[in-house]
Amino acid sequence: MRRVVLAPDKFKGSSSAPEVAGALATGIARVRPDTELVLMPVADGGDGTVDAFVAAGWRRIEVDAPGPTGVVGVATYALRGGTAVVELAAAVGLVKLPRGVPDPLGASTFGLGVVIADALDKGAVEIVIGLGGSASSDGGAGMLRALGVRVLDRRGDEVPRGGAALADAVALDRSGIHPGVPATRFVLACDVDNPLLGPRGAVAVYAPQKGADAAQLAILEAALTNWATVAGVEFAERPGAGAAGGTGFGAMALLGAEVRSGIAVILELLDFAALLDGADLVVTGEGSLDEQSLHGKAPIGVCEAARKAGVPVIAAVGRNLLTPVRIRSAGFTTCYALTDLESDPRRCMAHARSLLEDVGATIAREHLGA
């Protein structure tokens, strides 16, 4: 009996990672019903990370938490034993902006801290924070405030939430920090190496995506420059400090967080290596396979892990923008794209599940033998 591990990331805008894995499995089973199929949807730390862990059997926890603009909604994280996996996007991401209206100066990560505090209250001693899809540029200050750190101005009052207000910060009061923080290991699942400040920093690179205009960019850069002097300027140049609007910086400076490749830490927590034992084939993929994918995205991490175990890997993607040579040099045996079956992007996304089933059937016919 052939054994196939299905480890795709989400197809953004059309299918979650569990849905992609399920559709591929249906297609393979249609042609080779005797195949042992192991479904292990993955993520790289961005949106969909919690779903991947829940699909692996972790407990889904729901928390009422303020979104980036303070509107309370439900955020989720995954918990197993003493380890929690928290997804920034699920609490304070762009998807949490009311009606999609950005607030580049006032958006905050406070809700992320609320979720982390809940995990600490439930006994977590290791918290993995997936950074991605952030709506704010507050240097992680909001997250820290929710964990009991007071950010003070010259009068000794707490500064308002949001990145712009950090221009008035002069001191920190850590006396009320959550008692679980010192004993907890914090890991940032992050695939960007941007510093906090400067032309490659959190504001210059990412704030325009969050609605900031030229004047607001200048305000935020000045505010985060001041925030760095208050919270720990020695952390500002560290790779990943600029991730998620500077949340990486705040977590490193005050939580002692370490930065790791998103897909690497997630594959480790999911014990992906054990699933490869006895596998004949791995199928991975994402919505778009392109040059950006080659820089630490989920399919590449899956591919590297599988190749180390001597298992061939196939990519099943929404669209493929790489040449056959690039695909092979990345380690994939081959790549199947939904756009090869349906060239219209809208129809392709609308019918992603049926197309994925067809791709699964093709993989079974061409790679799993009689």
pLDDT at position 45 over 90: no
- Say which DSSP state 233 is in: G
pLDDT at 97: 97
Residues 342-362 as b/e (b if ≥16 CB within 10 A, e otherwise) read beeeeebbebbbebbbbbbbb
Rounded Cα gap, residues 317 and 11, in angstroms: 8
Cβ atoms of 276 and 309 within 8 Å: the answer is yes
pLDDT at 326: 95
Rounded Cα gap, residues 243 and 206, in angstroms: 9
pLDDT at 47: 85
Q: Which one-letter amino acid corresponds to residue 179? A: P
**What's 287-317 look like in SS3?**
CEECHHHHCCCHHHHHHHHHHHCCCCEEEEE
49-262: CATH topology = Glycerate kinase, domain 2 (3.90.1510)
370 falls in which pLDDT band (50, 70, 90)? low
Residues 6+ away with beta carbon under 8 Å from 235: 196, 228, 241, 249, 252, 253
Q: For 156-183, what is the mean pLDDT?
A: 97
CATH of the domain spanning 3-42+270-367: 3.40.50.10350
Q: Where in the chain is the domain with CATH 3.40.50.10350?
A: 3-42+270-367
Cβ atoms of 88 and 134 within 8 Å: the answer is yes
Residues 6+ away with beta carbon under 8 Å from 37: 4, 6, 25, 28, 29
Q: What percent of the chain has pLDDT over 90?
A: 94
337 falls in which pLDDT band (50, 70, 90)? very high
pLDDT at position 259 over 60: yes
**How many C-beta atoms surround the C-beta of residue 69 within 10 A?**
20
Q: For 116-143, what is the mean pLDDT?
A: 97
38 falls in which pLDDT band (50, 70, 90)? very high
What confidence tens digit (pLDDT) does each residue in 175-205 have? 999 999 999 999 999 888 999 999 999 999 9
Q: For 225-247, what is the mean pLDDT?
A: 97
Question: Helices (H), strands (E): how many in the chain?
Answer: 13, 15
What confidence tens digit (pLDDT) does each residue in 338-356 have? 999 999 999 999 999 999 9
Q: What percent of the chain has pLDDT over 70?
A: 100
pLDDT at position 332 over 80: yes
Q: For 294-309, what is the mean pLDDT?
A: 92
Q: Which residues pair with 335 in a beta bridge?
A: 315
295 falls in which pLDDT band (50, 70, 90)? confident
Q: For 88-104, what is the mean pLDDT?
A: 96
Q: What is the mean pLDDT of the chain?
A: 96
pLDDT at 296: 77
Residue 61: in which H helix or E strand, if any? strand 59-66
pLDDT at 293: 87
Question: What are the two backbone dihedrals, phi and then psi, of residue 285, each rounded to the nearest 5 degrees?
Answer: 160, 180
Q: For 319-335, what is the mean pLDDT?
A: 96
- Say which DSSP state 11 is in: B
Q: Where in the chain is the domain with CATH 3.90.1510.10?
A: 49-262
pTM of the complete model beyond 0.85: yes
pLDDT at 46: 84
